[in-house]
Amino acid sequence: MRLKKVLLVLLILMGTGSAFAAGSGHDHDEPSSTTQEAQPSADQDDAKHDEVVEESADHHGPEQPMNAHSDSAMGADDHHGDTAMEEMAAEHDHSTHEEGTWAKDDFQQVLAWIGKFHPAATNFPIALLLAAALAELLFLGTQNTALRQAARFCLWTGTAGAVGTAVLGWFFVGFDFSADDALLSAHRWNGTATAFVSLFALGFGERAFAARGSVALFRVALVAVALMAGYNGLLGGKMVYGEDHYAWPTSE
């Protein structure tokens, strides 16, 4: 009898445990309606949040101000660079004296075109007159007659080149003296004076070679015209490359 009661209690306990286990499994596998309803609500909130963020991004355009600012900064830099280049070009701009702008009729246009060969011709008289002076100075130390003949030849060709180059220079820039700046004026008149002094040096030289004139006067005139020709070359370099072209280079 007692054994039957014990078995009955065990059966009751086993049934209660099975029912409890079944109820727990149902709650785990099939969430309650309250949980099911809560989850879609959270998903909807996340979707609404994403939509708000997208609308805010479209409205404010985060990249546009940055790009606009960058473009504005680049535009300012480009404008500043262009302005600096224009100022530099204007400082050494001799275009008003070039390209035949001074010519008004057909004859003047021909002269202006011929004058365009002035820059190409300037190197020869400068080199020849310097060579003539150097050859005469070497003759003083060596008494080599070949050097005297070299000095005479270079003086003749250098003088012809100086006169021709001076004429081309006048054709190149025209005859309007009011348009000259200080650098152009110095180059113009020093070049013209070089041509005249070379003629005097040639005349003194021919008299000295024929023993009818002063050799010392010839040599002074020759050195003077060589220095003037070299100086005019320096002025021409400043006109082309800027007044600070011969400045001593400095490391940055």
Report the alpha-carbon distance of residue 147 to residue 141 in Å, rounded.
10
Q: Which residue type is seen at 250?
A: T
Report the alpha-carbon distance of residue 141 to residue 150 in Å, rounded.
15
Query: Which band of pLDDT confidence, cut at 50, 70 and 90, is reported for residue 123?
Result: very high
Which is more confident, 142 or 19? 142
pLDDT tens column, 165-214: 999 999 998 887 776 788 999 999 999 999 999 999 999 999 999 989 89
Burial of 52 (0-12, 13-18, 19+ CB in 10 A): exposed
Report the alpha-carbon distance of residue 105 to residue 48 in Å, rounded.
82
pTM of the model: 0.60
Query: Which band of pLDDT confidence, cut at 50, 70 and 90, is reported for residue 163?
Result: very high
Q: What pLDDT does residue 36 have?
A: 42
The mean per-residue pLDDT over the stretch 135-144 comes to: 95
Report the alpha-carbon distance of residue 102 to residue 176 in Å, rounded.
8
pLDDT tens column, 34-82: 444 444 444 455 555 455 445 544 444 444 444 444 444 444 445 455 5
Domain range annotation of the chain: 98-241
